[in-house]
Amino acid sequence: MQKKSTFLYATLACMLTGNIALAQQVITGKITDGKHPIAGATILVSGSKIGTSSDANGNFTLKTEQNTGQLEIKYIGHTTQSLNFSNNATIGTIILIPTADQSLDEIVIVGKGVIDIAEGRQTPIAVSTIRQQEIEEKVGAQDITAVLANTPSVYITSQARGFGESSMTTRGFDQSNTAFLLNGQPINGMDNGRVYWSNWNGLSDIASVVQIQRGLGSSKLAISSVGGTTNFVTKSTDMREGGFFKRSVANDMYRKSTLAYNTGLLKSGFAVSVMFTDWRGDGYMDKTEGAGQNYFLSVGYKVNEKHNLNLMVTGAPQWHNTGYTSKLSNFLKEGRKYNDNIQTLNGIEMNPRKNFYHKPVSNFNWDWKISDKSSLATVVYASMARGGGQSYQKVDKTYLDPLLVADVNNHQWYGIVSNYNRQLNENLNFNFGFDLRDYKGEHYRQATDLLGKSSIKHQGNVNLPGATETSHIYTTNPWKTWGDRPKNAEDRLGWDYNQIVRYGGVFGQIEYAKNGFTAFFQGSASQQHNVRKDYYTYKPGEEKSDDVNNFGYNVKGGVSYTLNQHTLFGNAGIYSRQPYQNNIFMNYRNDINEYAENEEIIGLELGYKFTSKYFEANLNAYRTTWDNRVTGSTGTASDKDVKEFNPNNDPNGLQKGDYTYLSNYGVKQIHQGLELDFVLHPFKDFQLKGFGSLGDWKYDGNAVTIVRNESREELGRRNRDLSNVHVGDAAQTSYGAGVKYSFLKGLSVDADYRRFERLYGALPKDKPTLKLPDYDLVDAGISYKLQISHKNTLSLRANINNLFNKLYITDATSNADATATSEYWNGIETSNYVLMGWGRTWNGSIKMTF
């Protein structure tokens, strides 16, 4: 008996010893790029959660219970390597090979729980992804929206209005109804949902990836993703020491210089990346000059294996003169660079319309790996903005002194988004989080140039008795707007009010996946609080509006099934979206708009995806019904408008050619269509991409239109039946293809073709939208990369856009009546106000990486 016990104890001891030995298997090695150590590389045991990271010298030590297995070594911008290991192995030095095609999971280093990027998603969605190399190659001197021009159901209007003045529609919905996120942070304006790309000029320099999720998307936030959701993911703090200098030039004297440097991961656990850009140019249209800077700072700190922190600060202070629509006859006579804004003031020919803005943005990401099955990701963000738009105006109806004024739109915006993720079991995954925002907008008009006068008189503020005189002028320099701003009421002309929006939302998602079948259910609820404070029209104690509180929600879900290379999926969603503040308060007063109700959206999607080694394709069908919505447009007053809104020919009233603003309430739209995109890569150095979209987008039912002048005073209202009127501002049929071929080491050429048909202009005041001529465009580019040393690379790039100098119209704001003297161009009456596209343009760049 004693021998049996002794044997049993010995057996147990051997087992325990064996287990201890297994727990102490140690694998060591070093990660380099062939010349320098790589800090922060991820080393994982395949098929497990066990992993570690390389230190500042590239060394790593990993403990595992496995006697044998395989390691995966990953580092952003480099090819993942797999290596076998066995019993207490010393792997030696592993050299990682750089690649421009890293996975999205490698790109999103921080904020993984709040940056909702889709790749290989269990529940598929309609998505297009543009990576850093293509962003650098294709943007050139254009806005970052240009990288999405060759994707289904996306239409980019020419930025012929000026630098940063392009606009983008998705499935026929404008930018205020497409959600834009920067590292998980919403960037659509809280007051009107709009995005002004001049304020985001630096994105083309700092973006690692741009992804558009059309339709419902995968974002869990209660955001305005009616047309889709576009995610911008910036470069994270680079863990490898180095940097680059880049110089770009383009047509119309455009030049841009960028300098960047990364410290790499320091022994303290910190790493810092910085970048600064300076640009300037004459602009494509006449007198649309502009200049600005972009700055970017990212500080990362790896506390330990569970906590990762990153602080990012970026901004793009800029100014630019603007263009606008004009009669088609003017463009045909004067050329497509003609600018209707140019005037002669005090004997000087100038463009008084100017945009100037500085909008620093910062966000702080904290990733907490709570356990192998749970994590928490949080982003705290803030943006502070100063600037506005300059124009030539008369002070008011009493004192008609003309001068240059700026309509100022300052804001301060704070928010936090946090998402908790829990793997419930091998088939179920759960997310829950919250989204809080606090926004204050400050709006007033200020003088920027008295045009030779020492002072001007004005009257309008009810709190200033009698005529008020001011001699102060204020800067349009975006760097100086922070300190040079009017503190006194007499220097605030035209209006003076604040907008306050407070928003709180919760969201959650549960996702199931097993044997190729997946299902998800997602929901969010939010409360939005709106207040307006007017210091111009109301006496002290009366300046605050009534509180307006609106509850909103969205619910969406879907299923998919994957069998080998084929995937079928279907998604459906219901949104009840609160109205924007600009639609709640009418006539630039505290009057609450009776039509400002929640907008109701129903979205349906079906999709098919095929994936193989050499060919990938996606086919999507969608239908979106949108009720109780608000649309807006701008135009110029016609003789008919003057007759209706200024019948007595009051010289202070509406005049022919004056700008008018239209707001349409109670609008219903139905958007449905098909989308196709594919990629063919039959061999390593060749790639063919293609896309196509066929849409049917129409208004339905009756709407109320409010017409306002440029001072936002209501001129009148119209009731109209919009049934079967085509939705404008985007081509309802589009298709194209792009090819890229590398035929020598480091040398590649590429070209893109796209065609737009069934394009309609903006909704005019009292007519259907105008059908515009079809057009097609061809862009071409060439790249060359020379590897000077293992670390130093010289890159050259040149682009030609609109290679064949096509003359085309991108948008229209009118639908003119035909007369006996009417003239036409491609079926368009030439008295219509249109926006012309750019002609042939070019850009080139040289980049040295060190």
**Cα–Cα distances in angstroms (integers) from residue 241 to residues 80, 266, 274, in the given order:** 20, 9, 12
Burial 400-413 (b: 16+ CB within 10 A, else e): eebbbbbbbbbbeb
> Does the predicted model carry a pTM greater than 0.85?
no
Per-residue pLDDT at 17: 42
Distance between CA atoms of residues 417 and 422, nearest Å: 17
Neighbours of 528 (CB within 10 A): 24
Q: What pLDDT, on the 0 to 100 scale, is given for residue 113?
A: 64
Handedness of CA 310, 45, 77, 60 (dihedral sign): positive
Task: Tell me the sheet residues that pair with 587.
Answer: none
Q: Which of 790, 629, 846 is nearest to 33 (CA)?
A: 790
**With bands split at pLDDT 50, 70 and 90, how would you rate the model's confidence at 111?**
low
Tell me the per-residue pLDDT of 312-324, one tens digit each, with 9 for 90 and over.
Answer: 999 999 999 999 8
Domains and CATH numbers, the chain: 2-95 (2.60.40.1120), 104-234 (2.170.130.10), 242-417+427-849 (2.40.170.20)
Which residues have CB under 8 Å from 445's CB, separation 6+? 405, 406, 407, 408, 492, 493, 494, 495
Residue 102's pLDDT band, with cuts at 50, 70 and 90, is low
Phi, then psi, of 595 in degrees rounded to 5: -90, -5
Residue-level length of the chain: 850
Which pLDDT band, with edges at 50, 70 and 90, does 20 fall under? very low
Could you tell me if 211 and 201 are in contact, meaning their C-beta atoms sit under 8 angstroms apart?
Answer: no
Query: Is a pLDDT exceeding 60 seen at residue 456?
Result: yes
The mean pLDDT of 616-629, rounded to a whole number, is: 92
Kindly state the average pLDDT of the residues 618-646.
84
Among candidate residues 822, 832, 796, the one with its CA nearest the CA of residue 246: 796
Q: Round to whole Å and give the CA distance between 444 and 460.
A: 13
Helices and strands in the chain, H and E counts: 7, 52
- Counting residues of the chain whose pLDDT is more than 90, the rounded percentage is 49
Q: How confident is the model at residue 4 (pLDDT cuts 50, 70, 90)?
A: very low
> Alpha-carbon distance 179 to 195, whole Å?
9
3-state secondary structure of 15: helix
* Stronger pLDDT, 29 or 9, i.e. the higher one: 29
Of 476, 348, 467, 483, give the one whose Cα is nearest residue 405: 476
Q: Report whether 779 contacts 755 (CB < 8 A).
A: no
pLDDT value of position 10? 47
Question: What are the b/e assignments for 558-584, b being 16+ CB within 10 Å?
Answer: bebebeeeebebbbbbebbbbbbbbbb
pLDDT at residue 468 above 90?
A: no
Mean pLDDT of all residues in the chain? 87
Q: Is 793 helix (H, G, I), strand (E, B) or coil?
A: strand
Q: How confident is the model at residue 199, as a pLDDT?
A: 86
Is-contact 219 230, C-beta < 8 A? no
Q: Both tokens of residue 846?
A: 């040289």
pLDDT in tens, 765-787: 778 999 999 999 999 999 999 98
The DSSP string of 404-426 is EEEEEEEEEEEEEEEEEEEE-SS
Measuring CA to CA, how many Å separate 660 from each of 351, 618, 835?
Answer: 20, 43, 17
pLDDT at 14: 45
Distance of alpha carbon 149 from alpha carbon 156, whole angstroms: 6
β-strand pairing of 841-849 with 242-250: antiparallel
CA distances from 279 to 138, 159, 161, 290, 370 (A): 17, 17, 18, 8, 44
Q: Which two tokens stand for residue 309?
A: 């922190």
Q: Which residues of 426-447 are buried (b: 16+ CB within 10 A; e: fewer)?
A: eeebebebbbbbbbbbbbbbbb
Res 405 pLDDT > 90: yes
H-type alpha helices, 383-476: none
Nearest CA to 470 out of 541, 410, 399 is that of: 399
Question: Which residues lie across from 446 on neighbouring strands?
Answer: 406
- Per-residue confidence band for 118, with pLDDT thresholds at 50, 70 and 90: low
Q: Quick one: average pLDDT of 244-262? A: 95
d(CA 817, CA 307): 66
In contact, 178 and 225? CB cutoff 8 Å: yes
pLDDT digits (tens, 9 = 90+) for 500-555: 999 999 999 999 988 889 899 999 999 999 999 999 999 999 999 999 999 999 99
Q: Which amino acid, 126?
A: A
Measure the CA–CA gap between 3 and 391, rounded to whole angstroms: 102
Q: Which pairing describes strands 242-250 and 167-170: parallel, antiparallel, or unpaired? A: unpaired
Amino acid (one-letter) located at 208: S
Vertex 189, ends 187 and 191: CA angle to 5°? 155
What per-residue confidence (pLDDT) applies to 766? Answer: 75
More confident position, 442 or 347? 442
pLDDT tens-digit readout, 698-736: 999 888 888 888 777 888 888 888 899 999 999 999 999
State pLDDT tens for residues 665-704.
778 999 999 999 999 988 888 999 999 999 999 999 888 8
Contact 733, 693 (CB under 8 A): yes
Q: What is the pLDDT of residue 341?
A: 93
- The stretch 559-584 carries a mean pLDDT of 90
Given this model, what pLDDT does residue 42 score?
A: 81
The pLDDT score that the predictor gives to residue 835 is 93
8 A C-beta contact, residue 641 and residue 765 = yes
Instruction: Yes or no: say if 213 and 118 are a contact pair by the CB < 8 Å rule.
Output: yes
Determine whether 304 is exposed, middle or buried from the number of CB atoms within 10 Å of its CB (0-12, 13-18, 19+).
Answer: exposed
**Closest alpha carbon to 256 in 280, 282, 283:** 280
From CA 766, how far away is CA 244, in angstroms rounded? 54
pLDDT at 224: 61
pLDDT band at residue 19, thresholds of 50, 70 and 90? very low
